[in-house]
Amino acid sequence: MGMHMAMSGRIRFGKFLAPVLTDSDDAAIAVAASRILRDRAVGAIDVIPLTHDPELTEATHYAIRAGATEWHAIRLLVEQGKLRADVRLPVRIFMNGGQWRRAGLVAFVAEAAHSVSVVGVERH
């Protein structure tokens, strides 16, 4: 597949392509939902962007590579009104080379925009 480079991020729940339900069973989903409510945290879900374009935007959709049980647990909590429908989930995004280079460029520009020069003052 060639997608071995990954970075962490947060993606809106609605941007995930729904995984097949047979990837998880009802008991595992219920346990995961209970854990999410108790801990107020979701473990990172591994995803792959459904585009080969170098730029990943708010409109990009993702396929789940690992973490289907967590996705179904979040869906259940959203349906029950216990989480907002647009909740952002922690993900590990597996990207192709072009996407990885673009992400690095964006990070470099953001870092440069927030850097501050400090001039040292010598005191005697």
pLDDT in tens, 23-57: 668 888 899 999 988 888 888 888 888 888 887 88
In a domain, 102, yes or no: yes
Res 71 pLDDT > 80: yes
Residue 119 lies inside a defined structural domain of this protein: no
DSSP letter for each residue of 47-93: EEES---S---TT--EEEEE-HHHHHHHHHHHHTTSS-TT-EEEEEE
Query: Looking at the domain assignment, is residue 121 inside a domain?
Result: no
CATH of the domain at 107: 3.90.1530.10
Answer whether residue 123 is part of any domain. no
Q: Residues of the chain with pLDDT > 70: what percent?
A: 76
Average pLDDT estimate for 57-81: 89
Q: How far is CA 101 from the centre of its chain?
A: 18
Q: Specify if 107 maps to a domain.
A: yes
**Residue 19 above 60 pLDDT?**
yes
Give the count of domains, the chain.
1
- 70 found inside a domain: yes
Q: How confident is residue 66, by pLDDT bands cut at 50, 70 and 90?
A: confident
In a domain, 65, yes or no: yes
The whole-number pLDDT of residue 1 equals 47
* Structural domain span for residue 30: 5-112
Which pTM was predicted?
0.70
Residue 99: which of 56, 39, 42 has the closest Cα? 56
71 contacts 16 by C-beta, under 8 angstroms: yes
Does some domain include residue 117? no
